[in-house]
């Protein structure tokens, strides 16, 4: 297929691009590099350095795209609470512009990076796709709005749409000279921050809240390896059907407290990783654990690297390639 990947210079989009190319697809990456990295771009994909608001310049009716994988977004939940307009404009208005271009060009299918953040504080665990959607942060709300627009687009215009609701993505894709991993700036995700501490680039790790109703008081999250997640996108392209909007949660179904994650980082890196307890962050749900039963049944998806140990080991290997680069 000829595919447009938005956000292909980012963490998940770069790994998915690599897998799509390896599977024989033709890929054009649309990424304005606002948070992505030029080095993460696949040399065998065409890169258009532009924003999703200008998607119509690439997604022309003549270009003959078979599908879009839409990863581009701003992703920091904390920032979305203090600069909400940035998130609405980029994530929601930008996605609507992309949908206009998809419709005008007659592109038949689209796979969207949705998020566990659409559920807010879940009323049932593990969380099925049918659970109530009540985001506790603006980031989650901007993504839920796009999910709803996709449902409308499928009904109104026959788009074959799939939303993949990722839980916490971790790990890295390492293959020969290729090293693709997590590099957000500022970093807000627990594992890469803990690795910065292990590499002595940061003094200590802040744990935001230790008074949640969980086993050790810290938040519980479900982690999924980025390679397992990227593979789910290829499967999603296969099950997309005209006029339907399918939604799949993607996580491993195992929750780990923040303290348990830090313990695994200590094991893998051999560093004590000092921690400091800080106040809760606005909008952080206590516990997010996926039911991925639907993805397993309908996509035939099975995680190959379900353990936190594997994810941290790969993330650490990626982090160390960057330390070598910086010398
Ligand atoms: N990383 C996670 O744990 C996680 C969890 C749930 C959902 N997601 C979703 O997955 C997707 C990818 O996340 P990531 O961790 O790879 O993020 P990332 O920040 O590494 O990548 C996002 C990419 O999108 C690009 N981008 C952003 N806005 C753009 C715009 N308007 N036009 C063009 N390019 C733009 C950035 O330059 C960057 O390359 C996002 O949609 C995010 O909401 C991620």
pLDDT in tens, 199-217: 999 999 999 999 999 999 9
- From ligand 1's centre to the CA of 165, what distance in Å? 13
- Confidence check: pLDDT of 158 > 60: yes
In this prediction, residue 283 carries a pLDDT of 76
- Is residue 139 flagged as an active site residue? yes
Q: What is the pTM of this model?
A: 0.97
Res 327 pLDDT > 60: no
Cβ burial of 235 (10 Å; 0-12, 13-18, 19+) is middle
Identify the pLDDT of residue 294: 98
Compute the 3-state secondary structure of the chain and give helix, strand, coil in percent, each to the nearest 5: 40, 20, 40
Ligand 1 centroid, distance to 114 Cα (angstroms): 10
From the CA of 13, give the closest atom in ligand 1.
16
CATH H-level, domain 173-221+254-290+305-326: superfamily = UDP-galactose 4-epimerase, domain 1 (3.90.25.10)
Residue to mutate (ligand 1; options 33, 36, 57; most atoms within 8 A of CB): 36
Atom of ligand 1 nearest to the CA of 12: 16
Residues of the chain with CATH 3.90.25.10: 173-221+254-290+305-326
pLDDT computed for residue 326 by the predictor: 59
Measured in angstroms, how far is the CA atom of residue 215 from the centroid of ligand 1?
Answer: 31
Please write the tens of the pLDDT for every residue from 100-125. 999 999 999 999 999 999 999 998 99
Of 145, 142, 147, which Cα lies nearest the Cα of 161? 147
For residue 282, the model assigns a pLDDT of: 78
Spatial CA neighbour of 288 closest among 315, 256, 263: 256
CB of 35 within 6 A of ligand 1: the answer is: yes
**Does the structure show a pLDDT above 70 at 169?**
yes
Give Cβ neighbours of residue 64 (< 8 Å, ≥ 6 apart).
Answer: 2
| Ligand 1 pocket check for 93: Cβ under 6 Å | no
pLDDT of residue 52: 98
> Which positions ≥6 away from 325 have C-beta within 8 Å?
none
Is 31's C-beta closer than 6 angstroms to any atom of ligand 1? yes
CA distances from 276 to 142, 185, 217, 261 (A): 31, 21, 14, 14
Q: What SS3 state is found at 5? A: strand
pLDDT over 90 at 191, yes or no: yes
CATH superfamily of 2-170+225-250: NAD(P)-binding Rossmann-like Domain (3.40.50.720)
Tell me where in the chain the CATH 3.40.50.720 domain(s) lie. Answer: 2-170+225-250
Would the CB of 301 count as within 6 Å of ligand 1? Answer: no
Ligand 1 atom with least separation from CA of 90: 31
pLDDT of residue 322: 85
Q: Tell me if 157 CB under 6 Å of ligand 1.
A: no
Percent of the chain with pLDDT over 70: 99
Name every residue whose Cβ is closer than 8 Å to that of residue 30 and which is 6 or more positions away in sequence.
4, 5, 6, 7, 8, 48, 50, 52, 55, 58, 72
What's the gap in Å between 71 CA and the centre of ligand 1? Answer: 5
Q: What token pair was written down for 57?
A: 């310049």
Question: Is 33 touching ligand 1 by the criterion CB < 6 Å?
Answer: yes
Mutate-to-test residue for ligand 1 from 39, 75, 224, 248, highest number of ligand atoms within 8 A of CB? 75
């Amino acid at each position: 297929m000829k595919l447009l990947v938005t956000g292909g210079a980012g963490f998940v989009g770069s790994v998915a691009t690599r897998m799509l190319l390896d599977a024989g697809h033709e890929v054009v990456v649309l990424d304005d590099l606002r948070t992505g990295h030029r080095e993460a771009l696949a040399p065998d994909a065409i890169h258009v350095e532009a924003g999703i608001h200008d998607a119509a310049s690439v997604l022309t009716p003549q270009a003959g795209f078979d599908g879009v994988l839409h990863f581009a977004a701003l992703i920091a939940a904390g920032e979305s609470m203090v600069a909400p307009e940035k998130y609405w404009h980029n994530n929601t208005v930008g996605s609507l512009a992309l949908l206009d271009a998809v419709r005008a060009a007659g592109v038949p299918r689209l796979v969207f990076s949705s998020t566990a953040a659409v559920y807010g504080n879940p009323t049932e665990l593990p969380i099925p796709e049918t659970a109530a959607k009540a985001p506790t942060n603006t980031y989650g709300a901007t993504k839920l709005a796009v999910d709803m627009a996709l449902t409308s687009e499928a009904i109104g215009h026959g788009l074959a749409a799939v939303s993949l609701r990722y839980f916490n993505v971790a790990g890295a894709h390492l293959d020969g000279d290729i090293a693709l991993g997590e590099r957000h700036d500022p970093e807000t995700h627990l594992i890469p921050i803990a690795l910065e501490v292990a590499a002595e680039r940061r003094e200590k790790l802040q744990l935001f809240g230790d008074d949640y109703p969980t086993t050790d008081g810290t938040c519980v999250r479900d982690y999924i390896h980025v390679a397992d997640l990227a593979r789910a996108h290829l499967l999603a392209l296969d099950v997309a059907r005209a006029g339907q909007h399918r939604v799949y949660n993607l996580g491993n179904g195992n929750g780990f407290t923040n303290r348990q994650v830090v313990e695994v980082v200590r094991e893998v890196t051999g560093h004590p990783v000092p921690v400091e307890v800080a106040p809760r962050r606005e909008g952080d749900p206590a516990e997010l654990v996926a039911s991925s039963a639907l993805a397993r049944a309908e996509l035939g998806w099975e995680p190959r690297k379900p353990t936190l140990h594997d994810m941290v080991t790969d993330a650490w290997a990626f982090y160390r390639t960057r330390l070598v680069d910086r010398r």
